[in-house]
């Protein structure tokens, strides 16, 4: 009996393997959903931060709450704009602005660090899935 012939083409050279390395049906939509979900979660956390800021912010209460309110609106708009090419860099800018907002109160910087790390992980996942 003879053994079945093996294909002369290695598995790496097959076009089907290179077309969808992630195994997802629509990898772009998955990555957009990850970014939008992260921004939506950030908007919720920022909204929840308003009440403690009103109590502990002292003299910088007004500017800190105004900065958080603007950041919430920007996060919601960006979450809905993830199909646009500028939304990913704008999300990174939002994280940087929250870090700078630490001048008003340290809570803004803490939220900026936490979601900045989450955004960096999103970039890693995006690069891994989309190539």
Using one digit for the tens of pLDDT, what is the confidence trace for 76-110?
999 999 999 899 999 999 999 999 999 999 999 99
Domain count of the fold of the chain = 1
pLDDT at 24 (0 to 100): 80
The answer to whether residue 89 sits within a structural domain is yes
The pLDDT value given to residue 130: 87
The residues of the chain scoring below 50 in pLDDT are 11-12, 14, 16-17, 20
Residue-level pLDDT at 17 = 45
Q: How many CB atoms lie within 10 A of CB 25?
A: 8
Sequence-distant contacts of 108-113: CB under 8 A, at least 24 apart:
108/49, 108/64, 108/67, 108/68, 111/42, 111/45, 111/46, 111/49
Tell me which residue range forms the domain holding 56.
Answer: 25-130
Say if 5 falls within a structural domain: no
Please check whether residue 115 lies inside any domain of the structure.
yes
Tell me, yes or no, whether 114 lies in a domain. yes
- Maximal C-alpha separation, the chain: 88
State residue 30's pLDDT score: 92
What pLDDT does residue 2 have?
61
**Does this model's pTM top 0.85?**
no
Does 31 reside within a domain? Answer: yes
């Amino acid at each position: 009996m003879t053994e079945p012939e093996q294909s002369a083409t290695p598995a790496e050279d097959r076009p089907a393997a290179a077309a969808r390395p992630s195994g997802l049906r629509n990898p772009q939509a998955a990555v957009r959903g990850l970014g939008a979900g992260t921004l939506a979660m950030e908007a919720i956390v920022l909204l929840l931060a308003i009440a403690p800021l009103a109590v502990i912010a002292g003299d910088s209460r007004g500017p800190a709450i105004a900065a958080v309110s603007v950041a919430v609106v920007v996060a919601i708009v960006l979450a809905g704009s993830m199909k646009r090419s500028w939304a990913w860099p704008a999300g990174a800018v939002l994280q940087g602005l929250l870090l700078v907002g630490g001048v008003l109160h340290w809570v803004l910087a803490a939220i900026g660090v936490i979601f900045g790390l989450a955004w960096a992980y999103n970039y890693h996942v995006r690069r891994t899935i989309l190539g």
